Amino acid sequence: MKTKFINLLLLLSLSAVATGQNITDLFRTMPPALLPGISESNKTMLLVDSGNTSVPYSLGEISKVAHDREFLHIRTSAAGDLQLKILPLPGDSAIICLIQTVCAGICDSRITFFTTEWVKLDPLGFLPTISKEIFFISPENHSDNYKYAVSLPDIYPISARFDKAGTDLLLKLHYRERLTEEQMAEINPYLKNDSLFLHWKNGSFREEMRR
């Protein structure tokens, strides 16, 4: 509750009204620390073309994968990419969700939230705790077999992806790439699914079961 109250104060004092804003404007004002090495001219070149654009920059090459009014997906390297999404809030305001993903054999993502003035927000106000446990069915007695299954090595990387057309967030637990068949057999009785959707509703993400 305290986290949500602090976030609300920040949003009331710093977030601009969503009307009239688009991801192009927000990307141009994104702090350099969030995408090191890219210049203002790089950003302009990347955004001006309506197609998929690649531009050289100080750390290599950056390319646009998808772009519309509320969403931008760019590839920052051979192993990394970045997604920006405008998420609506009640009261005609908005926040920015930034997903930075690195795929070095296994994909792992970091999710952060900002006001439209690029003030960082506490993620607990918008997102449940993301850990491997949310993919598992926990037995009431927390049996030794369950504890062993969730403690197996290399099952913790979790990737996050937005669909270009919507605000649902797809989370995927990457465990198959590193575990043996015997280890996967230990996990399967407790695994709900290796993917789940979080649905954006009334200013926060909630788990959504899909079949």
For residue range 60-117, what is the model confidence (pLDDT) as tens digits? 888 999 999 999 999 998 899 999 999 999 888 999 999 999 998 889 999 999 999 9
Distance CA 99, CA 81 (A): 8
Q: Rounded mean pLDDT of 107-135?
A: 93
Q: Please state, rounded to an integer, the average pLDDT across all residues of the chain.
A: 84
Q: For 101-137, b where at least 16 C-beta lie within 10 A, e where not — what string? A: bbbeebbbbebebbbbeeeebebebbbeebebebbbe
Instruction: Look up the pTM and report it.
Output: 0.84
Distance CA 159, CA 167 (A): 16
Would you state the pLDDT for residue 164? Answer: 72
Would you state the pLDDT for residue 6? Answer: 45
Q: Rounded mean pLDDT of 189-207?
A: 91
Is pLDDT larger for residue 209 or for residue 41? Answer: 41
Would you state the pLDDT for residue 9? Answer: 46
| Listed range (2-11, 37-46, 65-74, 120-129) with the worst mean pLDDT | 2-11
pLDDT band for 176, please (50, 70, 90 cuts).
Answer: confident
pLDDT in tens, 29-57: 999 999 988 888 888 888 876 666 788 87
3-state secondary structure the chain: CHHHHHHHHHHHHHCCECCCCCHHHHHHCCCHHHCCCCCHHHHHHHHHCCCCCEEEECCEEEEEEEEECCEEEEECCCCEEEEEEEEEECCCEEEEEEEEEEEECEEEEEEEEECCCCCEECHHHCCCCCCHHHHECCCCCCCHHHHHHHCCCCCCCEEEEECCCCCCEEEEECCCCCCCHHHHHHHHHHECCCEEEEEEECCEEEEECCC
Would you state the pLDDT for residue 50? Answer: 62
